[in-house]
Amino acid sequence: MAVTLDRRQFLKSTAALGGGLALEFSAAGTALAQVGGPISPLEVTHWIVIKPDDTVVIRVARSEMGQGSMTGLAQMVAEELGCDWSKVSTEFASPNEHIRRKRIWGSMSTGGSAGIRTSQEYLRKSGASAREMLVSAAATDWNVPAGECTVSNGVITHGASRRTTTYGKVAAKAGQLEAPKDPKLKEPGQWTLIGKSVGRLELPDKVSGKPIYGVDVRLPGMMMASIVQCPIFLGKVKSVDSAAAEKMRGVKGIVKQDDFVAVVADNWWRANQAAKALRIEWDGGKYANASDETIRAMLKEGLEAKDLPSARKIGDTDAALASAARVVEAEYDSPYLSHAPMEPMTSTAWFKDDGTLEVWVSTQNGEASIAAAAEASGLPLEKCEVHKTQLGGGFGRRGAPQDYVKQSVAIAKQFPGKPVKLIWSREEDMQHGFYRPASIVRMKAGLDADGKIVALKSTIACPSILALLRPEGIDKGIDFTAVRTFSDATYTIPNQQVDYAMRNGHVPVGFWRAPGLQNSFYRECFIDECAAAAGKDPLEYRLAMLKDGDKNKAVLQAAAKAAGWGTPLPKGVYRGIAQSDGFGSYTAMVAEVSVNPQGQVKVHRVVFAIDSGYVVNPDACRAQAEGNVIFNMGQLHEAHHLKDGRIVESNFHDFQLPRMAEMPVVETVFVPSGGFWGGHGEPGALNVIPAVLNGVYAATGKRVRSLPLKDGVVA
Amino acid sequence: MKLNVNGRVQDVDAEPEMPLLWVLRDVMGMEGTKYGCGIAQCGACTVHVDGEAVRSCVTPVGQLEGRKIVTIEGLGGGRGLHPVQKAWLEQSVPQCGYCQSGMIMATAALLAKNPKPTDEDIEKGVTNLCRCGTYGRVRKAIHSLGGQKVDGAPKAVQAPNGQTLA
């Protein structure tokens, strides 16, 4: 019996933001033997497998792309389980089994810095349940009350009778027991693993070059595919002359689709050489003339449009602006940016002789991948399996779209019985992204006689990510990812209006690291402008607009204190500050910056304060902060330009990422206040640009309102 | 043609213009060396040829007969992890890890010539791209190998929420 499911809805609802889905599967348990094998008999709970030798396998539903969730999620389970951490390994939960077991592992989406914060409760409970079941199994064997038994490092002890056993010995029996509904969880003060910087479990493989990424998959008789997609978004293939390509060494076939042509060969270089020899005529369609100018005109028109929907309306902003002692006004903008993970898009598909399809892929969402595989193959979900690998970076690119999975399935479908690995060239990756949207924002602040902001009107013209990838998430014309930081600012400004002009164009947009982060740049630099206009210290100015008890205020104070705000700096070095919350956490940043006479910006030191409620693996969180700083400093120089409907930049020579010399010292200050769980993968991204550019202003008196820096310098 | 990779001479059937990267990955089945750009920009494909760090994505294999090629798989010389790999683990350098084979190979070549590199030496010698942003830890790991004292793990602290951060 096939699964009946609206796949389109499934795709949308498994998009990068994920979480809280309620999908009904009518899957019967009849197809259990098809793919993925039987359910492990060694399961204590569906998250935990304990083997007779006491080794523990903890299942992970989210993906590992370097953020450390695979270890952090396992830490939370192991904390409550009470096992020996040195005996823990992890495995990714099988998407096929997940579907057959009615989504037993919850969301597989890995985005929005949500891995830990949205699964912590059920994971900790799973560990606690298993512990109670294991103790209960031992106590039953010994015929003693479970309450008299203690647990330490996977050893169960009954002190009174001096008996001990291990988890491995009682696991099979424990797995037969009913899981307790509401197991008792430890208090934060009792944690010994949560909060500890244990080494990330996959690092030994990563330093020794083990083939752990999607791009490394090797299967018997495998062929390789290189793809050429229509360079003009939404364009089509008009004609292909593949005569020369077909004659090249190693070429096994050419696959022609509406919007791409792929060459399949016995190795990737040969496939790619032949792909370069294809002569393709494209039908660019109606966007063949789109350019930076047409995009800018589209956004500017949005700023001027009447009757825009408001994402926030407090007080009477227009009236307050009209009566303000002084009005500060500015327009800011930023460009399209690609994710450019170091591992290009890749997916391997194999239509097997038994009528099933297996896919190996670096994915941020195993469910979205299996849905994409089913959609592209026409097979029911139950006949598909997705093998999740380590990701060579994700940053949002490998979550919602799944375009490369669909392509690899379409290509492999032409070669039944043979595995085909699709690897995009870097050029394809740069020119076929789901880009961080370009946007323009106009802000107008009314200041009273003391310089305090009494009104703030923000008009945001920005393509909508949700319109493309998750349209049901749009609420009354508002895409929250386009208006955040303005629509939810906690500054106590009595009159606020945030208007949104959704102007989409043809360039695909997607969830980049910290979707909507450009608004932190706009807001926090503009607040700095207001502070300067008021003649106030930027820190004091912000603190005066934040209520006591607002966690944003506490992190701002923590960052300022750790950075020594107000204390002397070496000659030529200046500080900038910014604060924003997002992805469940509250953050503030101070950047120490100098600008040389040529206008080149150097960031020396960054202090980052974060309140994420709790911290699971401090070192992994520090690594996220360090990564966020340099990743986002890249925005000073990165941009994608549009010409003749296509992206101009094609590789790292013209889309330059930061290198070693640019890396500043990064200090992370944890101020977890408890009572909630926040993320770490993206919150550190929010304040980098505003803190740095506010430092640039302090150093030069020049406001940078448009990124990237023109000619790479502050002029 | 015959190629000497990690101390073993093997017969390889490949056209001379095929880049070493793809010979290693797709012909010889050694996937530790990574493709990132194909134009010698990112360094994910870095291997050693006669001890020099080389970007294998632009190195035609036809030039390499009789030369000694070492990849990440052979860096330790069959005696476990190379000191650079160990330092990488001590400093928890990798995030996604994709660029790290190249980063490690570039570092090993740098240190072989210059055992105590300065920040500037490192910036010039390790020009690899890392999108995750591990540069600070790469630098720290290299300094630790150069005998510099580097900061250890921060001291355990009691957080405002009652948990201990270590």
Strands (E), A125-212: 149-152, 155-158, 163-166
Q: What is the mean pLDDT of residues A315-330?
A: 98
Q: Report residue A487: phi and psi, to 5°.
A: -70, -20
Mode of pairing for the β-strands spanning A88-92 and A453-462: unpaired
Strands (E), A338-485: 346-351, 357-361, 384-388, 419-423, 439-447, 453-462
Is residue A398 helix, strand or coil?
coil
> Is-contact A375 A408, C-beta < 8 A?
no
Q: For the purposes of burial, counting CB atoms within 10 Å of the CB of A675, is it exposed (0-12), middle (13-18) or buried (19 or more)?
A: exposed
Instruction: Find the helix packing angle between A120-142 and A167-174, rounded to 10°.
Output: 100
Q: Residue A130: its pLDDT value, please?
A: 98
Q: What is the CATH number of domain A292-337+434-712?
A: 3.30.365.10
In this complex, do B136 and A665 lie within 8 Å of one another by their Cβ atoms? yes
Task: Examine the domain organization and report whether B98 and B65 are in the same domain.
Answer: no
Give A589-656 as a DSSP string.
Answer: EEEEEEE-TT--EEEEEEEEEEE-S--S-HHHHHHHHHHHHHHHHGGGT--B-EETTEE---STTTSP
Structure-derived torsion over alpha carbons of residues B23, B24, B28, B32, reported in degrees to the nearest 10: -150
The residues, ordered by sequence, that sit 6+ positions from A524 with a Cβ below 8 Å of its Cβ are A578, A579, A580, A687, A690, A691, A694
Q: Residue A28: its pLDDT value, please?
A: 30
Strand partners, A455: A446, A495
Token couple for B101: 């084979």
> Is-contact A424 A345, C-beta < 8 A?
yes
The residues, ordered by sequence, that sit 6+ positions from A103 with a Cβ below 8 Å of its Cβ are A21, A23, A25, A367
Token couple for A636: 């000073």
- For the beta sheet containing A155-158, the strands, ordered from the edge strand earlier in sequence to the opposite edge, are A149-152, A155-158, A163-166
In this complex, do B38 and A426 lie within 8 Å of one another by their Cβ atoms? yes
Q: Indicate the pLDDT class of residue A29, thresholds 50, 70 and 90.
A: very low
Judging contacts by C-beta atoms under 8 Å, the chain B residues touching residue A650 are: none
With respect to residue B154, please indicate whether it lies within any of the assigned structural domains: no
- The minimal CB distance from A224 to the residues B26, B71, B95 is found for B26
Q: Which residues of A382-393 are buried (b: 16+ CB within 10 A; e: fewer)?
A: bbbbbbbbbbbb
Q: Residue A38: its pLDDT value, please?
A: 56
Judging contacts by C-beta atoms under 8 Å, the chain A residues touching residue B101 are: 209
Judging contacts by C-beta atoms under 8 Å, the chain A residues touching residue B97 are: 66, 202-203, 205-207, 212, 390, 392
What is the nearest CA distance from A395 to chain B, expressed in angstroms?
A: 9
Q: Quick check: A3 pLDDT over 80? A: no
Residue ending a domain, among B46, B74, B102, is: B74
The residues, ordered by sequence, that sit 6+ positions from A121 with a Cβ below 8 Å of its Cβ are none
Assigned CATH topology for domain A32-206: Aldehyde Oxidoreductase; domain 4 (3.30.365)
Q: Give which of A79, A206, A513 to mutate to test B binding, by max B Cβ within 10 Å.
A: A206
> Is-contact A227 A424, C-beta < 8 A?
yes
Q: Residue A13: its pLDDT value, please?
A: 37
Query: CA A652, CA A87: separation in Å to the nearest integer?
Result: 42
- The minimal CB distance from A194 to the residues B41, B95, B163 is found for B163
Cα B36–chain centre separation = 13
In this complex, do A195 and B166 lie within 8 Å of one another by their Cβ atoms? yes
DSSP state of A449: T
- The minimal CB distance from B98 to the residues A68, A213, A665 is found for A213
- The domain segmentation of chain A, as residue ranges, is 32-206, 214-285+345-423, 292-337+434-712
Q: Quick check: A380 pLDDT over 80? A: yes
Task: Examine the domain organization and report whether B47 and B16 are in the same domain.
Answer: yes
With respect to residue B152, please indicate whether it lies within any of the assigned structural domains: no
DSSP state of A209: T
Token couple for A131: 């512990």
Q: Give which of A75, A202, A208, A677 to mutate to test B binding, by max B Cβ within 10 Å.
A: A208
Residue type, A170: V
What is the nearest CA distance from A446 to chain B, expressed in angstroms?
A: 38
What ipTM, to 2 d.p.? Answer: 0.98
In this complex, do B138 and A660 lie within 8 Å of one another by their Cβ atoms? yes
- Give the whole-number percent of chain A exceeding pLDDT 90: 94
- The minimal CB distance from B42 to the residues A266, A652, A660 is found for A652
Q: What is the mean pLDDT of residues A162-188?
A: 96
In this complex, do B135 and A663 lie within 8 Å of one another by their Cβ atoms? yes
Q: Indicate the pLDDT class of residue A7, thresholds 50, 70 and 90.
A: very low
Q: Residue A512: its pLDDT value, please?
A: 98
Q: Quick check: A27 pLDDT over 60? A: no
In this complex, do B32 and A195 lie within 8 Å of one another by their Cβ atoms? no
Rounded to a whole number, what is the largest CA-CA distance in chain A? 83
Q: Report residue A169: phi and psi, to 5°.
A: -75, -30
Q: Quick check: A619 pLDDT over 90? A: yes
With respect to residue B67, please indicate whether it lies within any of the assigned structural domains: yes
Judging contacts by C-beta atoms under 8 Å, the chain A residues touching residue B139 are: 660, 663
- Stretch among A107-116, A303-312, B152-161 having the lowest mean pLDDT: B152-161
What is the nearest CA distance from A80 to chain B, expressed in angstroms?
A: 15
In this complex, do B96 and A269 lie within 8 Å of one another by their Cβ atoms? no
> Is-contact A171 A59, C-beta < 8 A?
no
What chain B residue is nearest to A343 in terms of C-alpha separation?
B36
DSSP state of A215: G
In this complex, do A199 and B96 lie within 8 Å of one another by their Cβ atoms? no
pTM, to two decimals? 0.95
Closest C-alpha to A424, from A272, A249, A237, A231? A272
Closest C-alpha to A394, from A434, A372, A364, A426? A364
* Count of domains for chain B: 2
In this complex, do A673 and B160 lie within 8 Å of one another by their Cβ atoms? yes
The residues, ordered by sequence, that sit 6+ positions from A600 with a Cβ below 8 Å of its Cβ are A712, A713, A714
Closest C-alpha to B72, from B125, B30, B135? B30
For residue B45, the domain's CATH number is: 3.10.20.30
What is the nearest CA distance from B165 to chain A, expressed in angstroms?
A: 5
Mode of pairing for the β-strands spanning A439-447 and A453-462: antiparallel
Q: Residue A32: its pLDDT value, please?
A: 33
The residue range of the domain holding B59 is 2-74
For residue B112, the domain's CATH number is: 1.10.150.120
Task: Examine the domain organization and report whether B57 and B14 are in the same domain.
Answer: yes
Q: Quick check: A1 pLDDT over 60? A: no
Express each pLDDT in B107-138 by its tens digit: 999 999 999 999 999 999 999 999 999 999 99
Sign (positive/negative) of CA torsion A199, A204, A207, A210? Answer: negative
Q: Quick check: A600 pLDDT over 50? A: yes
What chain A residue is nearest to B15 in terms of C-alpha separation?
A249
* Interface contacts A/B by beta carbons within 8 Å: 215
Sign (positive/negative) of CA torsion B90, B92, B98, B103? Answer: negative
Judging contacts by C-beta atoms under 8 Å, the chain B residues touching residue A675 are: 161
Q: Quick check: A20 pLDDT over 70? A: no
Q: What is the mean pLDDT of residues A672-689?
A: 98
Q: What is the mean pLDDT of residues A555-565?
A: 98
Judging contacts by C-beta atoms under 8 Å, the chain A residues touching residue B31 are: 209, 211, 215-216, 218
| C-alpha distance from residue A349 to each of A31, A372, A423, A669 (Å) | 21, 12, 12, 44
Query: CA B119, CA B116: separation in Å to the nearest integer?
Result: 10
In this complex, do A660 and B19 lie within 8 Å of one another by their Cβ atoms? no
- The minimal CB distance from B153 to the residues A187, A197, A661 is found for A197
- Stretch among A34-38, A252-256, A324-328, A463-467 having the lowest mean pLDDT: A34-38
Is residue A311 helix, strand or coil?
strand
Closest C-alpha to A714, from A628, A607, A594? A594
With respect to residue B12, please indicate whether it lies within any of the assigned structural domains: yes
Strands (E), chain B: 2-5, 8-11, 46-49, 52-55, 68-70, 157-158, 164-165
What chain B residue is nearest to A629 in terms of C-alpha separation?
B133
Judging contacts by C-beta atoms under 8 Å, the chain B residues touching residue A673 are: 160-161
Express each pLDDT in A635-671 by its tens digit: 999 999 999 999 999 999 999 999 999 999 999 999 9
- R_g of chain B, CA atoms, integer Å: 18
Q: Quick check: A9 pLDDT over 80? A: no
- For the beta sheet containing A665-670, the strands, ordered from the edge strand earlier in sequence to the opposite edge, are A574-582, A585-595, A601-611, A665-670
Query: Which stretches within A479-517 are classed as H helix?
Result: 480-483
Q: Report residue A606: phi and psi, to 5°.
A: -130, 130
Q: For the purposes of burial, counting CB atoms within 10 Å of the CB of B2, is it exposed (0-12), middle (13-18) or buried (19 or more)?
A: exposed
Side-chain-side CA neighbours of residue A97 (13 Å)? 15
Task: Examine the domain organization and report whether B14 and B69 are in the same domain.
Answer: yes
> Is-contact A413 A233, C-beta < 8 A?
no
In this complex, do A652 and B35 lie within 8 Å of one another by their Cβ atoms? no
Q: Give which of A186, A269, A421 to mutate to test B binding, by max B Cβ within 10 Å.
A: A269
**What's chain A's average pLDDT?**
94
In this complex, do A215 and B35 lie within 8 Å of one another by their Cβ atoms? yes
Strands (E), A159-235: 163-166, 223-229
Judging contacts by C-beta atoms under 8 Å, the chain B residues touching residue A203 are: 88-89, 92, 94, 97
Q: Quick check: A21 pLDDT over 90? A: no
With respect to residue B156, please indicate whether it lies within any of the assigned structural domains: no
With respect to residue B62, please indicate whether it lies within any of the assigned structural domains: yes
Judging contacts by C-beta atoms under 8 Å, the chain A residues touching residue B22 are: 267-269
Task: Examine the domain organization and report whether B59 and B119 are in the same domain.
Answer: no
Q: What is the CATH number of domain A214-285+345-423?
A: 3.30.365.10
Residue with the two structure tokens 């999740």: A388
> Is-contact A688 A694, C-beta < 8 A?
no
Q: What is the mean pLDDT of residues A478-502?
A: 98
Query: CA B97, CA A393: separation in Å to the nearest integer?
Result: 8
Query: CA A444, CA A329: separation in Å to the nearest integer?
Result: 4
Q: Residue B72: its pLDDT value, please?
A: 98
Q: Residue A41: its pLDDT value, please?
A: 79
Q: Quick check: A33 pLDDT over 50? A: no
What is the nearest CA distance from B66 to chain A, expressed in angstroms?
A: 23
Express each pLDDT in A258-285 by its tens digit: 999 999 999 999 999 999 999 999 999 9
In this complex, do A653 and B22 lie within 8 Å of one another by their Cβ atoms? no
Per-run averaged pLDDT (10 residues), chain B, 166 residues: 97 97 98 98 98 98 97 96 98 98 98 98 98 98 94 89 95
Token couple for A564: 């020594």
In this complex, do B19 and A269 lie within 8 Å of one another by their Cβ atoms? yes
Query: CA B144, CA B18: separation in Å to the nearest integer?
Result: 38
DSSP state of B150: -
Task: Examine the domain organization and report whether B7 and B69 are in the same domain.
Answer: yes
Express each pLDDT in A408-439 by its tens digit: 999 999 999 999 999 999 999 999 999 999 99
